[in-house]
Structure 1
Amino acid sequence: MAKFVLEELGMGVQKGAPFNQLWHVVQECLGVLSKNVDTDLAGYKEIRQIHQSSWDIARNVSALRNLQGTGHGRTLPTGVSKELTWLVVREACSVAEYMLRLLDKEQGR
C-alpha cells in the first residue's frame, strides 16, 4: 500500500526500504502525521490518536503477516483464529481505504 501511494505521487521507492520508513513518508505526504494535527481544532487529541492508531494497525498487520502469514512459502496453519483474521482484514482495509481517499484528494480526483 505504501509503495503504491508513493509511486502514484511520483516519488521513487528505494528497493528494500523498511516498511516503517515508507509508511512515515506516506503519512507525511498525505498530511496525516499525528504530530501535525492542528491543536486549535476541536477534538485534536482524539484525531491525533486516530491517526496514531492507523499507523499502529498498519505496522502490526505488517508484522503479523511476516510472523503468521502464509506467504513466503509457509504452508503450516497459523495460530491466528478466523475471528481475529476477519478483524485484521477489516482494520487493514479501513486504513487502506482512508489512505486511498486521501491520495485521490491529493491528486484532485
Structure 2
Amino acid sequence: MSISNIEIGTFLNFFNRGGYVLDFSTVDFDTFTHESIGVPLCETYKMSKGKSLVAYVKQASQQDIIKLFNDLMAHYELSPQKENDEQYQKKYADAYVKCRSILDRINTNTIADIESQKLKEVFNSDYISSQIDLMVKMQDDNPTEAIGKAKELIESCCKTILEKEGHIIEKDWDMTRLVDETFKLFGIMPKQISDDAKGAKSIKQVLGNLKAIAQGISELRNLYGSGHGKSSSFTGLEPRHASLAVGSSVTLVRFLWDSYVRYKHISDIG
C-alpha cells in the first residue's frame, strides 16, 4: 500500500480549494478529521482547512494519509458538490477521475497484500512466499512480470496440492488442466455438484467462474505477461490490469488451498 508524492499532490489540489476543503465548515472539518484519523486538523495546526490538511499530510504516515483521502473521497461522492463539479467545474471533475483511479489502485493492492500474507502463512513454502512478495511488488513497477507471476502462483498451488496427494502430473498439462485436476480431487467440478443441492445453479456458476480465472490469467500471460518473447511494437498493460490479475490469482489460490485443508480434515477423521 503506497502513494507517491506526485499522487498526494494531485489529491491536495483536488481537496484544497483556495484554503477551503470541499464543502466543510471549520467545525465540521475538525469533527470529520477527528473521526477519520483521530486528529482535528484546524484545531491542531491553527490554520485554514486547506493549509491544515497540507500540514498534516507532510508529517503523517502513508497509511493515515490514504485513510483520510479515502474518507474525504467518500464524503465528496455523496455530496451535491460532485454533481456541481460535473456541471460547472470541469477542472475538478477531471481531477476527481484521476484521484478515484489512484484510490482504486491503492485499495486493490491493499486487499491483495492482505490475502497474500494469509497465503504465505498457510502454504509454508519459501518458494511460494517469495513469488507472492515479488508479484505484489511488481504490480506497479513491472505489470508485465506481475501477470506472469500470477499464473505461476496458481500453477504452484495446484502442483503442491496434487503432489502432496500422490498424483502424477503429466508434462503436457497446461494451467487449465492443473486447475481441473485439483477441482476434481475435491469433488467440486461444476458437473460434480448435484442438481438437488441447495443453490446448485449458483454454486456451479461461481465454480465455473473461478475456473475461468485460471484460463483468463493464462491467456493474459501469453499475450502480455512474462515468459514469452515480444516484438518491438509490444505494449504492456497498465498497473490496474496487473492488479486485477494478481488479485484474481490470490482469490483462486486461497479458495483452492482452503478446499485442500477441508479435504484433508475430512480424510483424516474418515
Alignment correspondent of 1:92: 249
Alignment correspondent of 1:10: 166
Check conservation: 1:38, 1:44, Cα contact below 8 A. yes
1:20 deviation in Å? 2.6
Check conservation: 2:175, 2:214, Cα contact below 8 A. no
1:78 deviation in Å? 4.7
Mapped partners of 1:78, 1:41: distance in 2: 46
Check conservation: 2:159, 2:178, Cα contact below 8 A. yes
1:19 deviation in Å? 2.6
**Which deviates further from its counterpart, 53-62 or 78-87?**
78-87
The structure in which a higher percent of residues are helix is 2
Q: After superposition, give the CA deviation of every residue in 1:72-96 in whole Å (9 maximum; x if it has no partner).
A: 466x875322112111111111011
Alignment correspondent of 1:33: 189
Mapped partners of 1:57, 1:78: distance in 2: 23
Check conservation: 2:183, 2:189, Cα contact below 8 A. yes
Equivalent residue runs for 1:1-109 within 5 Å: 1=155, 2-72=158-228, 78-108=235-265
The one-letter code sitting in structure 2 at the alignment partner of 1:17 is W
**Structure 2 gaps, min length 5:** 1-154
1:65 deviation in Å? 1.2
1:28 deviation in Å? 0.6
**Structure 1 gaps, min length 5:** none
Higher RCO, 1 vs 2 (CA within 8 Å, ≥6 residues apart):
1
Sequence identity (%)? 26
Q: Counterpart of 1:86 in 2: which secondary structure?
A: helix
1:104 deviation in Å? 1.3
Output the TM-score relative to the length of structure 1: 0.84
Mapped partners of 2:177, 2:217: distance in 1: 15
How many residues are aligned here? Answer: 109
From the CA coordinates, give the structure whose radius of gyration is larger.
2
Output the TM-score relative to the length of structure 2: 0.37
